[in-house]
């Protein structure tokens, strides 16, 4: 993962391509499917280089589903076994309630990102977000 970060955290698309070549040299033989996936989908995967750095960082660090799953795993991994399916469901519901409290907190740097999105998308970007 540490070797993949320079690809999607590059300053521009050209630097990302160079970093992808380095990644391929290091890991291409061991993980050819991953490298092929990046190569075949790079137009879609590098679309975010059109946006300013603040927005790009928000795109690759704000994955709500992955964050939710990570927090649920954190709660359930220490439990050896559950007495029933209902006990697991109760634990997940309680954890979801706790996690959901954080969803109302504003994203770091949102004001700057929102103004940049408003410039890029114009009327498609609501000002009341």
Three-state SS for 9?
A: coil
Tokens of residue 121, six digits = 């998308």
Residues 6 or more apart from 14 whose CB is under 8 A from it?
none
In the chain, the number of structural domains is: 3
Residues 100 and 121 in one domain: no
pLDDT tens digit sequence for 50-80 = 888 878 777 766 667 788 888 999 988 888 7
> In the structure encoding, which two tokens stand for residue 113, read together?
């990102």
Where in the sequence is the domain holding 122, given as residue range(s)?
51-62+107-129
CA distances (Å), origin 90, targets 66, 86, 100: 21, 6, 15
Residues 38 and 12 in one domain: yes
Quick one: 113 and 93 in the same domain? no
pLDDT in tens, the chain (129 residues): 788 888 878 888 899 889 989 999 999 899 899 888 888 888 887 888 888 887 877 776 666 778 888 899 998 888 878 889 999 999 999 999 998 887 777 777 778 888 888 888 888 877 665
User: Is 112 in the same domain as 58?
Assistant: yes
On whether both 101 and 117 belong to a single domain, the answer is no
Question: Is 88 found in the same domain as 119?
Answer: no
Same domain? For 14 and 70 the reply is: no
């Amino acid at each position: 993962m540490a070797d993949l970060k320079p690809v999607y955290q590059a300053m521009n698309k050209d630097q990302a391509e160079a970093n992808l070549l380095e990644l391929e040299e290091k890991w291409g033989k061991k993980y050819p499917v991953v490298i092929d996936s990046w190569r075949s989908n790079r137009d879609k995967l590098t679309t975010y280089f059109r946006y300013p750095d603040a927005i790009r960082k928000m795109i690759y660090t704000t994955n709500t589903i992955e964050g939710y799953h990570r927090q649920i795993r954190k709660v359930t991994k220490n439990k050896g076994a559950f007495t029933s399916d209902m006990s697991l469901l109760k634990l997940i519901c309680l954890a979801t309630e706790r996690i959901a409290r954080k969803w109302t907190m504003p994203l770091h740097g949102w004001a700057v990102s929102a103004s940049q999105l408003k410039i890029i998308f114009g009327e498609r970007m609501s000002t009341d977000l």
